[in-house]
Amino acid sequence: MIKTETYQLSMGPVHPSTHGVLQVLLTLDGEKVVDSVPCMGYLHRGIEKLMEARTYFQCLPYTDRLDYVSAMNNNFSYCHAVEKLAAIDIPEKAQYLRVIMAELNRIASHMIFIGSLAVDIGATTGMIYPFRDRERILDIFNELCGARMTYSYIRIGGVRSDLSSAIVDMINKFLADLPSMLDEYNNLLTGNEIFQHRLKGTSLLSGEQARRLGITGPMLRASGIDYDLRKDNTYSSYDNFEFSVPLGKNGDNWDRYIVRVKEISESAKIIRQALDGIPDGQITAKVPKVLRPPKGEIYDTTEGPRGEVGYHIVSDGSAKPYRIHIRRPSFINLQALNILCKGYLVGDVVVAMSTIDPILGEVDC
């Protein structure tokens, strides 16, 4: 008599694309996935412990190294939390500059997503174009603060430097070219039948499942739940701008892709409005050289490209944080991996992993 049994396959720890070092332990029945367990920690550096031994200003560069494809958003989130804790008021102009950079970085991050999704599916050509265009944003950041990836541009109290006219030109030119870039992706990928076939109707995540698993960001919105902190708990100067929140319907891989592509255009809308409306004034508030926030505790969240980035900071009144805990959206979103993979084929695991879009620097902290 012929009998079958399940077996285990370890995918990783080296992931073939750019996400980082994640291992997925798969239990398979033939080619069908019975169970999948993400194993992380390969990139764990103990950032939370390191921060306890540093001043609030010295902690900032560590936030660059969490989600390293959207460092601006991490800087933003950390500074926002510290400012709330220390009750520092930020000049309006700095708020606008922060929003511009955070949204530019969101576009860059979503471009990475499109590129790595393409390469995960096997469309290597599809990767080249978003990566090429993302380089334009990195050039802007390089001009702005001298770094391509680790900016530390958003500082406690404001931002590091003002926009030069050269940078404004670069951003304007990028925004003008963005629609044609998106057309190119749409021609290459979105309209491609094989691409659609791989994404549509696979790895479903219902709205209820996503809500209960604490999924946030584009992944939650792809499941049809309208929750975006830029609207639902508006911070900085986001309530001055008109933009919409793209939603998916089915919560499949396709929706997770489309939602992010649409978010690129929405971010561009925000940047355009902010760039046109930059008020006059200071770019930093007056912050003491040695910052000693009053004794207390704060939890503050902002919307990163991957979801809700939260900082829980405990201050004992000294110049160093007593305890910092970071809510990293990728880490929590990975909890959905098993639901996304169960019952699908091994080839779909790579796609599901890709549309979760985890950045392992952030997962492992």
Partner 1 sequence: MKRRYMGRDKLYTLKKDFPTDIDFDDAAENPSLIIRSLPYFPKIMHSLNTQHKFDMLSNITAVDYDDYFEVVYDLTSRINSEELMVKVPLAKASPALETMTALWPEADFHEREQYDLMGIIFLHHPNLQRILLPDDFIGYPLQKSYRQAEKEGENG
The span of 36-44, 113-121, 165-173, 261-269 binding partner 1 (CB under 8 A) equals 36-44
From 152, 92, 114, select the one nearest 265 (Cα to Cα): 114
For position 335 contacting partner 1 by CB under 8 A, the verdict is yes
Q: Are 358 and 330 in contact (CB under 8 A)?
A: yes
β-sheet bridge partners, residue 359: none
Return the number of the residue (269 or 323) whose C-beta is nearest partner 1.
Answer: 323
Of residues 40-59, those binding partner 1 (CB under 8 A):
40-41, 44, 46, 48-49
Binding mask 150-179 for partner 1 (x = CB under 8 A): ------------------------------
Q: What strands, in cross-sheet order, belong to the sheet with 323-327?
A: 296-304, 307-315, 323-327
The span of 37-45, 126-134, 249-257, 271-279 binding partner 1 (CB under 8 A) equals 37-45
DSSP labels, 83-143: HHHHTPPPPHHHHHHHHHHHHHHHHHHHHHHHHHHHHHHT-HHHHHHHHHHHHHHHHHHHH
How many whole angstroms separate alpha carbon 199 and alpha carbon 253? 5
The span of 117-125, 151-159, 175-183, 225-233 binding partner 1 (CB under 8 A) equals 225-233
The span of 19-27, 145-153, 305-313, 342-350 binding partner 1 (CB under 8 A) equals 305-313
Q: Are 76 and 302 in contact (CB under 8 A)?
A: yes
- Token readout for 46 is 């103990």
Contact with partner 1 (CB under 8 A) among 334, 350, 351, 359: 334
Residue 215 Cβ vs partner 1, minimum distance, rounded to whole Å: 8
Residue 13 Cβ vs partner 1, minimum distance, rounded to whole Å: 12
Contact with partner 1 (CB under 8 A) among 31, 177, 183, 297: 297
Residue 41 Cβ vs partner 1, minimum distance, rounded to whole Å: 4
Q: Are 24 and 350 in contact (CB under 8 A)?
A: no
For position 139 contacting partner 1 by CB under 8 A, the verdict is no
Residue 27 Cβ vs partner 1, minimum distance, rounded to whole Å: 15
* Apex 306 CA angle, 19 and 248, nearest 5: 110
For position 294 contacting partner 1 by CB under 8 A, the verdict is no
Which residue is listed with tokens 């950041």? Answer: 141
From 307, 332, 361, 303, select the one nearest 80 (Cα to Cα): 303
Return the number of the residue (131 or 299) whose C-beta is nearest partner 1.
Answer: 299
How many whole angstroms separate alpha carbon 195 and alpha carbon 114? 12
Of residues 199-218, those binding partner 1 (CB under 8 A):
211-215
| Main-chain phi, psi angles of 70, to 5 degrees | -140, 60
Residue 176 Cβ vs partner 1, minimum distance, rounded to whole Å: 33
Other beta carbons within 10 angstroms of residue 124's beta carbon come to 10
Residue 92 Cβ vs partner 1, minimum distance, rounded to whole Å: 17
Other beta carbons within 10 angstroms of residue 38's beta carbon come to 20
Binding mask 117-136 for partner 1 (x = CB under 8 A): --------------------
- Token readout for 51 is 């921060």
**To 10 degrees, what angle do helices 92-121 and 124-145 make?**
160
Return the number of the residue (266 or 364) whose C-beta is nearest partner 1.
Answer: 364
Contact with partner 1 (CB under 8 A) among 231, 292, 320, 342: 231
Contact with partner 1 (CB under 8 A) among 67, 83, 263, 308: 308
Residues that bind partner 1 (CB under 8 A): 40-41, 44, 46, 48-49, 211-215, 227, 231-234, 297, 299, 301, 308, 310, 312, 314, 322-323, 325, 327, 331-332, 334-335, 364-365
